[in-house]
């Protein structure tokens, strides 16, 4: 269903407001951030601190993947679906995931610092760094293909679903 006329104007207004922030802080384009993080949903929020709202949305995806990678690396009390994945990942793949994990943790710590004491500059820096990290992870995924030890036949349909979701960054 196409958006209503008023919603289109809200989105266009958001893009114009973002353009000002983008130019001020040399941020990625609206389209780039929207493609990777879905920042267009900020048009639903009326705020004087647009950059904070964008940072909140940008931080969601790395946080979710951090928790997923953490569970793969250390599957204590993990759901069965995660255990099935963890059992099929070899040492090389776990080491690669550990590299990604360290980068995601570093960004999570930066998020906490940014969240505690508001500053437009820190918000912008966080957005740029998270975008760069995410692009790096996507590039790594394309070139460092993680492959489980088990054959395709050994892996359950649930494993395929989760595995494909995660590695289709």
Q: Per-residue pLDDT for the chain (169 aa), expressed as one digit of tens each?
A: 555 555 557 889 999 999 999 999 999 999 999 999 999 988 877 888 999 999 999 999 999 999 999 998 888 888 888 888 888 888 888 888 888 898 899 899 999 988 888 999 999 999 999 999 998 888 777 665 443 333 344 334 444 444 455 555 4
Tell me which residue of 97, 89, 84 sits closest to 148, measured CA to CA. Answer: 89
From CA 13, how far away is CA 72, in angstroms rounded? 41
Tell me which residue of 141, 136, 78, 66 sits closest to 105, measured CA to CA. Answer: 66
From CA 84, how far away is CA 80, in angstroms rounded? 6
From CA 106, how far away is CA 112, in angstroms rounded? 10
CA 152 to chain centre: 27
């Amino acid at each position: 269903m196409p958006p209503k006329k008023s919603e289109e104007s809200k989105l266009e207004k958001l893009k114009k407001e973002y353009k000002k922030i983008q130019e001020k802080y040399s941020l990625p384009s609206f389209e780039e951030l929207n493609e990777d993080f879905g920042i267009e949903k900020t048009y639903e929020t009326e705020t004087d601190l647009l950059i904070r709202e964008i940072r909140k949305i940008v931080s969601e995806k790395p946080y979710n993947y951090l928790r997923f990678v953490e569970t793969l690396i250390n599957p204590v009390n993990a759901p069965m679906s995660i255990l099935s994945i963890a059992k099929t990942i070899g040492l090389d793949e776990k080491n690669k995931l550990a590299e990604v994990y360290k980068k995601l943790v570093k960004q999570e710590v930066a998020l906490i610092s940014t969240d505690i004491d508001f500053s437009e500059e820190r918000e912008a820096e966080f957005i740029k760094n998270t975008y760069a990290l995410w692009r790096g992870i996507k590039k790594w995924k394309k070139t460092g293909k993680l492959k489980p030890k088990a054959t395709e036949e050994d892996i359950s349909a649930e494993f395929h679903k989760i595995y494909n979701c995660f590695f289709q960054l």
